[in-house]
Amino acid sequence: MSKTKQEIIDDIKSHMQKRGGAYSDWYVGISKDAKDRLFNDHCVKEKKDVWIHRKASSSQTAREVEDYFLNTLDTDGGAGGGDETSDMVYAYKKAKHTNP
C-alpha cells in the first residue's frame, strides 16, 4: 500500500533517528524494486544492516521525498536516478561493505 509524501518522510526520518548516526551516514534513493537495489546493487545485508523502504503513490512523490532527504537533511544519494516506474523510496545506514 502506498503512502503520502509526509508519511514516508516521517517513517524514514523516525527510523533514522531510532537507529542513530548523522543523516550523512545514511543513503537515500528511489527504485521500482527497493529490495533489489538494497541487497544487490548496494550490498546491504538484509539481516544485519539497518534499512527501510516505503512505496509512494507515484514516481513524482518518491522523487520529492528523495529530494527532501538529499537537500534538506543532507543524506548521501544521487538525485535523478530511476525512471517513471520508480515509486519506492529506500534508505540504509552506510557500512564498510555497502556501495556506497
Alpha-carbon distance of 68 to 75, in angstroms, equals 9
**pLDDT tens digits, one per residue of 19-50:** 999 999 999 999 999 999 999 999 999 999 99
Which residue in 78, 94, 100 sits closest to 23, CA to CA? 94
**pLDDT tens digits, one per residue of 4-17:** 999 999 999 999 99
Alpha-carbon distance of 37 to 87, in angstroms, equals 13
Which residue in 6, 66, 70 sits closest to 14, CA to CA? 6
Alpha carbons within 13 angstroms on the beta-carbon side of residue 88 total 14
Q: Hunting for cell 523502504 — which residue is that?
A: 53
Alpha carbons within 13 angstroms on the beta-carbon side of residue 85 total 3
pTM: 0.97
Alpha-carbon distance of 24 to 2, in angstroms, equals 26
